[in-house]
Structure 1
Amino acid sequence: MKNIILASTSTLFGQNYLSYLLPEVKLLFKSIEEIIFIPYARPGGLSHDAYTQNAATAFATLGIRVNGLHTFTDPAKAIKEAQGFFTGGGNTFLLVKQLHELGLMQILKNAVEQSKPYLGTSAGSNIGGLNMQNTNDMPIVYPPDFTTMGLVPFNLNAHYLDPDPSSTHNGETRETRIKEFHVFNEIPVVGLREGSWIRVKGELVTTEGSKNSRIFLQGKEPYELSAGSELNFK
């Protein structure tokens, strides 16, 4: 049974790393003593060690040990033997490139689909979708494939922002960009606002958190889905 949280962000404004999510994280990793952290997205060029330490500090409050995947000589074996996983945010292009080039994307998918709990935030949530084509990140590197784990039958747009009617910015809104995607693609997209997440328990997929989610389907007007609602796109 899949046991997954895909969150828009790791940190709400003015709060500590993961603090808003910790009650849910505690339930997700119930009875788990140790997890693997996947630091490949490296926000701001942060080192793998420093990024892993951030995660370890947060998880220490739950009594859970954290090991960085980058420290294993055989990362595929480490994933197969792990109790659970956390993939942090940063640049999705970099994260996807590393996972594909190391041959780990499918291995991680298999492990999560075998009931090992998975937490993703931002880029780490993006890779839970069918592909990474709705990321907001700049293409600082070129992945060999945009395909991601497909843990859920849709794509995510983490850090979703609503149009600001008072803004003088003339660039495209997030909604416009997703509609551009739907000119060429049928895949549903869930816009996750800050403080929101997707919860997967077996075959049940729900929206959770403090904000509504914005749902985009090809050829239809986007609509709002309140927290606690089942995601079935009907």
Structure 2
Amino acid sequence: MAPSLLLMSSSRVNDSEYLQAYAEFIKGHFDAAQEVLFIPYAGVTMDYDTYTARVQQALAAYDIRIKGLHTANDPQAEIRSAEGILVGGGNTFRLLQQLYHYDLLAEIQAKVKQGCPYAGWSAGANIAGLTIRTTNDMPIVEPPSFRALELVPLQLNPHYVDVHPPGFHGETRAQRLAEYMTLHPGTPVLALREGALLEVSASAQVIHCCTGVNGSDPAFLFRAGTQTPLPAGTDLNKLV
């Protein structure tokens, strides 16, 4: 069965309220679920109870029931019984480390392959790719491997920006992704501006754009030394 994925770049767009720019997408994505399992492991400076409560509050108006995975006595069994899986942003290295610690990668992969809808933003989107080698985050912890969920056959780079402020002499995001392409020319990288998201269904992998995205294109595809702009409505099935 084809995966059902909603991969969002960020939790906000410009000055929007927490998760509100994406709320209608999230509601539609989990429409058949009575309860959605939330994975808060990317949170570092916010404890898991607080993080889960924040997500619950943000989605309460949309009748989406949220349960924090951290409250489960058996996280693997909780994944196996989930009707929907939602993964929050934060630090991607910490998130992946915790998924390895609880031995959850194979469980999530199997559940999603069975048709369970998966959604994530920022770090939660990052881990849906092949590896986390194109995250923007600092490696504050060391997971056993950079291999991630492999739910899509590409790398992801949420929060993509292409500004180069005057006087800034560090590498731009595009230059960093060019370094990755140099060493991995055959692996595509999907860069999502804030407010952009990738929706994957049985028939398509479509780029969407929320109101307020800065820039003419919500996403870019980096591969083999090229950078291709992706307008809203682009179906990645035709490109990767």
SS at match of 1:191: strand
1:212 to 210, 218, 236: 218
1:25 aligns with 2:22: no
1:148-159 equivalence runs, <5 A: 148-159=148-159
SS at match of 1:149: coil
Distance (Å, rounded) in 2 between the aligned partners of 1:102 and 1:179: 34
Distance (Å, rounded) in 1 between the aligned partners of 2:106 and 2:35: 22
1:3 aligns with 2:9: no
Question: In the alignment, which residue of structure 2 is the partner of 1:46?
Answer: 46
Question: In the alignment, which residue of structure 2 is the partner of 1:221?
Answer: 226
Tell me the alpha carbon deviations over residues 128-185 of structure 1, each in whole angstroms, 9 at most, x when there is no partner.
Answer: 1000000000000000010011111101100001133x52110000000011011211
Distance (Å, rounded) in 2 between the aligned partners of 1:106 and 1:226: 33
SS at match of 2:221: strand
Question: In the alignment, which residue of structure 1 is the partner of 2:91?
Answer: 91
- Number of residue pairs the alignment of both structures matches: 231
1:1-234 equivalence runs, <5 A: 1-43=2-44, 45-164=45-164, 166-185=165-184, 186-210=186-210, 211-218=217-224, 220-231=225-236, 232-233=238-239
Instruction: Give how far 1:33 is off.
Output: 1.4
What amino acid is aligned across from residue 230 of structure 1 in structure 2?
Answer: D
SS at match of 1:125: helix
Normalising by structure 1, report the TM-score. 0.95
What amino acid is aligned across from residue 168 of structure 1 in structure 2?
Answer: G
State percent identity of aligned pairs.
Answer: 38
Distance (Å, rounded) in 2 between the aligned partners of 1:203 and 1:100: 31
Tell me the alpha carbon deviations over residues 78-107 of structure 1, each in whole angstroms, 9 at most, x when there is no partner.
Answer: 000010011000000000000012100111
Instruction: Give how far 1:188 is off.
Output: 0.5
CA contact (8 A) 1:36 1:68 kept: yes
Instruction: Give how far 1:116 is off.
Output: 0.8
SS at match of 1:128: coil
Distance (Å, rounded) in 2 between the aligned partners of 1:16 and 1:140: 28
CA contact (8 A) 1:33 1:63 kept: no
What amino acid is aligned across from residue 212 of structure 1 in structure 2?
Answer: P
Q: Which moved more, 1:223-232 or 1:204-213?
A: 204-213
Instruction: Give how far 1:114 is off.
Output: 1.1
Instruction: Give how far 1:203 is off.
Output: 4.8
SS at match of 2:182: helix
Distance (Å, rounded) in 2 between the aligned partners of 1:126 and 1:172: 21
SS at match of 2:66: strand
Aligned-residue Cα RMSD (Å) equals 1.3
Instruction: Give how far 1:19 is off.
Output: 0.3
In structure 1, list runs of 5 or more residues that go unmatched.
none
In structure 2, list runs of 5 or more residues that go unmatched.
211-216
Instruction: Give how far 1:202 is off.
Output: 1.6
Q: Which moved more, 1:2-11 or 1:58-67?
A: 58-67
CA contact (8 A) 2:195 2:218 kept: no
Instruction: Give how far 1:229 is off.
Output: 0.7
SS at match of 1:109: helix
Instruction: Give how far 1:15 is off.
Output: 1.5
Q: Which runs of 4+ in 1 moved over 6 A?
A: none
Distance (Å, rounded) in 1 between the aligned partners of 2:166 and 2:126: 27
SS at match of 1:224: strand
What amino acid is aligned across from residue 224 of structure 1 in structure 2?
Answer: P
